[in-house]
Structure 1
Amino acid sequence: MKQVLICGALIVTLSMGIRHGFGLWLQPITMERGWSRETFAFALAIQNLAWGLAGPIAGGLADRFGAFRVLVVGAVLYALGLVFMGLASSGLAFMGGAGIVLGLAQSGTTYAVVYGVIARQVAPEKRSWAMGITAAAGSFGQFLMVPVENGLIGGLGWQNALFVLACMALIIAPLALGMREPPKAASSGPKQSVAAALREAFTTPSFGLLMAGYFVCGFQVVFIGVHMPSYLKDQGLSPEVATGALALIGLFNVFGTYAAGSLGQRLPKRYILSAIYALRSVAIVAFLLAPLTPTSVYIFAAVMGFLWLSTVPPTNAIVAQIFGVQYMSMLGGFVFLSHQVGSFLGVWLGGKLFDATGSYDVVWWIAVGLGVFAALVNLPVREVALVRGGPVPKAA
């Protein structure tokens, strides 16, 4: 178990850490290429959508053939996507590299694939905690990589910085060796076909509610992660404030994801999710109404960081709790698809509405409303294992 946790944590550190700083490239790329913000934002929106659409496929392949092969292919695609992102001279080429290739890469190197291995290798009573540990590692990667990426851009230029990150992404391939599973691990559990598993999931109301909540998560975090650096610069704050804010999000995310994973062992996970979404809306409203200063930005970043990916461990733990672990990566991939549809809309609408209105205000308030919606839809989720061939027990 220790090897799986360490390698899984390092893989997520790299895969999530690299992408967390993509917002730092928005202004240098658009200014040098002469593109609108919507061009950049739409490419990252396509990235999130491609990631989500490929997620169930990558998860299904990992469930059937093991995570190792999927992770290796994902690492190679990640490196290629970063190189294409640096070389693209047209909006269409940029969308292909930064959008499609990187999206496919992330589907095979992030949570759905890694969590499938963890779910099968860790005892149920420790599963939420283990997922929290891995998510916290990914959060530390965000904290670590933002200043690294900012330094690379400043020291080498934005293009060479992407080439360096491409080399770093290849480290995921040797780390994947630690995610190999025993031959019988993937086939343990109830004997169920893929079609039956999908039918079961999509006719279970709680699965749809989790997907709805995760849609909101994607909208909020990707909008903020990509557009906040430009929002702060537009308001007259220095680039260092944006870099510090993204780093603080990553740092406090370490504590938030670990806390959510640990609390999920003791409290109903649906209540944890509802509280996270409600608190996000409160934090955004306070940020918008307070005077904008470096201090207010750092406070907002710390609070949002604590809530950032803290939805990940309880959401995935509920999926495993309800449906078992045989198709955990595939079902987690479908839940994550909803997250990425939200991500697509969050990042694209951020650029679209900014170009149309000259402001991000409308998107900020959409994020507030969606947070309230997600807080409500998670409350009816039933955290009980399905009894196949018999009635579903009532929730305690």
Structure 2
Amino acid sequence: MNIIQNRPFGQRYAFVVVAVIFLSLLIAAGMRSAPSVLMLPLENAFGWRRDAISLAAAIGIFLYGLAGPFAAALMDRVGLRRTVMASIALMSASTALSLFMTEPWHLIATWGIFSGIGSGAVASVLGATIVNRWFKTNRGLMMGLMSASSATGMLVFLPALAALAQYGGWRPVVITVSIATAALLPLVYFLVPERPSSIGLTRYGAEGDNEQDAPAAQGNFLLSTLDTLRRAARTRVFWYLFATFFICGFTTNGLVGTHLIAFCGDMGIPEVRAAGLLALMGVFDLIGTTLSGWLTDRFDPRKLLGVYYGIRGLSLIYLPYSGFSGLSLTIFAILYGLDWIATVPPTLRLANESFGDRSGPLVFGWIVAGHQVGAATAAFFGGALREMQGDYVLAFQIAGMTAIGAAALSLLIDPAETRGREVAQPA
């Protein structure tokens, strides 16, 4: 018997589910950020070019996003818990297999293809699905907390992984990530039910028993997922959200998450200290993204996105000319950290307002795919441009200008164009 059947907290059991999913998202984010720590050790151990290592990171990031909408549809059909557990097992196994790699294509297969597919289900779409299933109120705040888990993943993992890489090479990093990922399996199995009705509850904030969960969807989940994309793609709202989130990924985990440590290394800053900068960003993003969720429940999400992208663009343009002193890097880490994933809660709210509670998370999955396409582009683009130019200056300048463009584009989004439209196929 699962201990969740005892449901000792009533409606507040939703927060137990959030805690487990927060931890799962945290560890998945730590796994996805590990290639930034592995870049220099793999270069030293095998003599692999930085653009080859960046390619593996880019493929992992791309599949991390592409798998999201299919995972969201699969959760509706075979079950959330089964989907998440299978994904976690794939993440752990693929990471462990990389211990035996000797060629760049081994890195691409393990850290790129298999871990990318596995981690795609343990990403923003999982957070969106959990929030929509378990909460009637406080959705923005909860999504902000879920989104902040990626920053917390950097906070918890990167300094420790960087220290392991500096003193023990790349293998201890791989072992640590694989074990941490596998440890999630019993937590998800015992503590995460499919939905509130599975244990006789309603969503948090729902009044009475009249709030019923939608029945599980039927049919071919691949065709349904693609059909949802086709229907959503007919709207301007979708493409505005897709474009801004493409730039979001391009300017965060794609460029900064993958290349900041290497950029600092080029400037003579030790790897552990550079990882500490990302950890500092993680501290402030935990604050900033949670605050963003609170703000999203109260203010126009389009204006919030405009502010977030504007601050991000100015921060990226500033970095190459900061002198890389301790003070200037601290200022950058604080400003950039507050803004890192603050865009997620207002973007999800706009998706839900535009496409409805049932279709919103699946459409959001495709928007997140745009985020990861942007991140994958920047991960490879940054490494390739570094090889051609000899530094990262131009890459960061380009990223900063695209973020300012996203700030302007955010103000054009109009949820009223499709408000409440359910674009998924009927169950």
TM-score (norm 1): 0.92
Q: Distance in 2 between matches of 1:146 and 1:67?
A: 29
**Deviation, structure 1 residue 81:** 2.2
8 Å CA contact 1:249, 1:302 repeated in 2: yes
Matched, 1:211 2:242: yes
8 Å CA contact 1:13, 1:138 repeated in 2: yes
- Equivalence for 2:209: none
8 Å CA contact 1:82, 1:166 repeated in 2: yes
User: Which of 212, 230, 255 is equivalent to 1:223?
Assistant: 255
Matched, 1:38 2:51: yes
8 Å CA contact 1:10, 1:175 repeated in 2: no
Q: Identity of paired residues, percent?
A: 26
User: Which of 391, 397, 402 is equivalent to 1:370?
Assistant: 402
**What does 1:188-203 correspond to in 2, within 5 Å?**
197-203=228-234
Q: Distance in 1 between matches of 2:158 and 2:371?
A: 22
> Given residue 336 of structure 2, which amino acid in structure 1 is its aligned partner?
M
Q: Distance in 2 between matches of 1:342 and 1:210?
A: 13
- Equivalence for 2:337: 305
Q: Distance in 2 between matches of 1:285 and 1:342?
A: 18
Q: Distance in 2 between matches of 1:80 and 1:128?
A: 34
**What does 1:45-56 correspond to in 2, within 5 Å?**
45-56=58-69
Range with greater deviation from structure 2 (306-315 or 141-150)? 141-150
Range with greater deviation from structure 2 (177-186 or 73-82)? 177-186
> Given residue 58 of structure 1, which amino acid in structure 2 is its aligned partner?
A
- Equivalence for 1:268: 300
8 Å CA contact 1:73, 1:108 repeated in 2: no
Q: Distance in 2 between matches of 1:47 and 1:188?
A: 30
> Given residue 235 of structure 1, which amino acid in structure 2 is its aligned partner?
M
Q: Distance in 1 between matches of 2:176 and 2:393?
A: 35
**Deviation, structure 1 residue 259:** 1.0
1:195–1:232 distance in 2 versus 1, CA, 3 Å: closer
> Given residue 351 of structure 2, which amino acid in structure 1 is its aligned partner?
V
Q: 1:130-187 CA distances to partner (integer Å, 9 max, x unpaired)?
A: 1012222332222111122123334543213211210110122223233321357352
Matched, 1:351 2:380: no
- Equivalence for 1:392: none
Range with greater deviation from structure 2 (262-271 or 3-12)? 3-12
User: Which of 266, 270, 282 is equivalent to 2:314?
Assistant: 282
8 Å CA contact 1:139, 1:253 repeated in 2: yes
**What does 1:128-277 correspond to in 2, within 5 Å?**
128-177=140-189, 178-180=191-193, 181=195, 182=197, 185-187=213-215, 197-221=228-252, 222-277=254-309
8 Å CA contact 2:166, 2:271 repeated in 1: no
**Deviation, structure 1 residue 199:** 4.2
> Given residue 78 of structure 1, which amino acid in structure 2 is its aligned partner?
M
Matched, 1:29 2:57: no
Range with greater deviation from structure 2 (48-57 or 16-25)? 16-25
Q: Distance in 1 between matches of 2:342 and 2:251?
A: 13
8 Å CA contact 2:70, 2:225 repeated in 1: no
**Deviation, structure 1 residue 56:** 1.4
- Equivalence for 1:292: 324
> Given residue 308 of structure 1, which amino acid in structure 2 is its aligned partner?
W
**Deviation, structure 1 residue 198:** 3.7
Q: Distance in 1 between matches of 2:308 and 2:66?
A: 26
1:295–1:58 distance in 2 versus 1, CA, 3 Å: same
8 Å CA contact 1:128, 1:265 repeated in 2: yes
TM-score (norm 2): 0.85
Q: Distance in 2 between matches of 1:86 and 1:249?
A: 30
**Deviation, structure 1 residue 114:** 2.8
8 Å CA contact 1:59, 1:332 repeated in 2: no
1:355–1:72 distance in 2 versus 1, CA, 3 Å: same
Range with greater deviation from structure 2 (258-267 or 280-289)? 280-289
1:388–1:71 distance in 2 versus 1, CA, 3 Å: closer
8 Å CA contact 1:85, 1:97 repeated in 2: yes
RMSD: 2.0
User: Which of 300, 314, 322 is equivalent to 2:346?
Assistant: 314
8 Å CA contact 1:140, 1:254 repeated in 2: yes
> Given residue 319 of structure 2, which amino acid in structure 1 is its aligned partner?
F
**Deviation, structure 1 residue 317:** 2.1
8 Å CA contact 1:281, 1:371 repeated in 2: yes
> Given residue 201 of structure 1, which amino acid in structure 2 is its aligned partner?
A
> Given residue 57 of structure 2, which amino acid in structure 1 is its aligned partner?
L
Matched, 1:4 2:37: no
**What does 1:328-339 correspond to in 2, within 5 Å?**
328-339=360-371
8 Å CA contact 1:218, 1:341 repeated in 2: yes
8 Å CA contact 1:62, 1:329 repeated in 2: no
**Deviation, structure 1 residue 84:** 2.9
Q: Does the residue aligned with 1:139 lie in a helix, a strand or coil?
A: helix
- Equivalence for 2:123: 110
Q: Distance in 2 between matches of 1:387 and 1:332?
A: 14
Range with greater deviation from structure 2 (352-361 or 378-387)? 378-387
8 Å CA contact 1:78, 1:102 repeated in 2: yes
Q: 1:102-124 CA distances to partner (integer Å, 9 max, x unpaired)?
A: 1101111111123212112111x
**Deviation, structure 1 residue 67:** 1.5
